[in-house]
Amino acid sequence: MKKILLLGSGELGKEFTIAAQRLGQHVIACDSYPGAPAMQVADEFEVFSMLDGEALNQAVKKHQPDIIVPEIEAIRTERLYEFEEKGIQITPSARAVNYTMNRKAIRDMAAKKLGLKTAKYFYATTFEQLKTAAEEIGYPCVVKPLMSSSGKGQSIVKSPTELQHAWEYGLSGSRGDIRELIIEEFIRFDSEITLLTVTQKNGPTLFCPPIGHVQKGGDYQESFQPAHIAPEHLTEAESMAEKVTKALTGAGLWGVEFFLSHEHGVYFSELSPRPHDTGMVTLAQTQNFNEFELHLRATLGLPIPCIKQMRIGASAVILSPISSQECPRYRGLERTCEEDADIRIFGKPTTRINRRMGVVVCNAPLDENLDDLREKTKRLASYVEVY
């Protein structure tokens, strides 16, 4: 049995904890608020801000974990090097977490060091720099915080009159203490995919069947597997994913995002060194192992002989229309359960408008129509009301 300190205890952390419990591991779930989803299923929990380096040190000193698994961006990531030097395993590695928690570091590595095809980009620490960069790139362009999650602070700027709002919104959505934005060329893509990539301690890099997804405001609304992608584009994406994960080092599951253009091919977009929200579609038993089981097995060094597509699948999120500090309630579950589907309510103790509160996942045999399955899943998710 390994003792795992989980940094971040949202819905992804909850599913990872469940996977760990099934293999007899001991999990300490950490987050900045009590009652977080993973805390509800973990062996122990701690409440503190992971941007507080001293509090993070105290948690490590108290629990003496064998493994630290970061599941969020807002962590005092430089401390992870110190823990790693003391013999604590960081998943996938301290280097990987430090690079990928900051868009600047990972984008520069991908574009400048590895030569991956990316959107044209600049950085801005002042509004004047933002204006200059936008003029250089042209409109529309995309403005994002260097550190954020779930699309927070991200906007598409269509004209100079929208820059001020993008500047203020970007800074407001930034996680941690970094006050810097990235300005990107707007790629006119045909679709976007997540390629879940598994690096192993003693084995080859493996790839899950590609996952398509639809986002709104930078946050995922639905995902489906397998996404349609030309064989040559899939080969290109897998090559890029293997290059960047090898450069970052470590064992674990990575969510590597790409833009697909029929005319221009594959563009590297972003990377997360952990299970990805769009990968919740794998909870529909689309594969022989879901993404959380894969992350855990890679972390523990257990061999993963293969990843097999078993069924087609789709997921659709359940969003909150309200903001409240009271424990949310749900109605409409019986309508969703009348048909062949699985529903996961995350157990978040409070709500805010458009917060992700649950997900509906559906599967079907490989020879059935994926578009029909997507429509069914979205319909079933729409029956659930948060109040």
Residue 132 DSSP code: H
What's the CA gap between 379 and 201, in Å, rounded?
A: 41
Catalytic residue among 35, 53, 151, 332: 151
Q: Which residues contact 112 (CB under 8 A, 6 or more apart)?
A: none
Residue length of the chain: 387
Residue 134 is classified by DSSP as: H
Catalytic, 232? Answer no
Is 270 tagged catalytic? yes
Please identify which of the residues 278, 315, 320, 377 carries the catalytic annotation. 278
Whole-angstrom CA distances from 216 to 143, 150, 359 are 15, 10, 16
Catalytic residue among 17, 91, 149, 197: 149
* Residue 257 designated active-site: yes
- Told to judge if 377 belongs to the known catalytic residues of this protein, a careful annotator would answer no
Q: Is 278 a catalytic residue?
A: yes
Q: How far apart, in whole angstroms, are the C-alpha atoms of residue 212 and residue 17?
A: 25
Q: How far is CA 319 from CA 51, 102, 133, 222, 358, in A?
A: 27, 27, 35, 11, 7
Max Cα–Cα distance, the chain, nearest Å: 57
**How remote is the C-alpha of 243 from its chain's centroid?**
19
Q: Which residue in 270, 342, 375, 385 is the catalytic one?
A: 270
Q: Which of 95, 274, 355, 356 is catalytic?
A: 356
356 is catalytic: yes
Could you say which of 257, 315, 358, 377 is catalytic? 257
Residues labelled as active-site residues: 149, 151, 257, 270, 277-278, 356
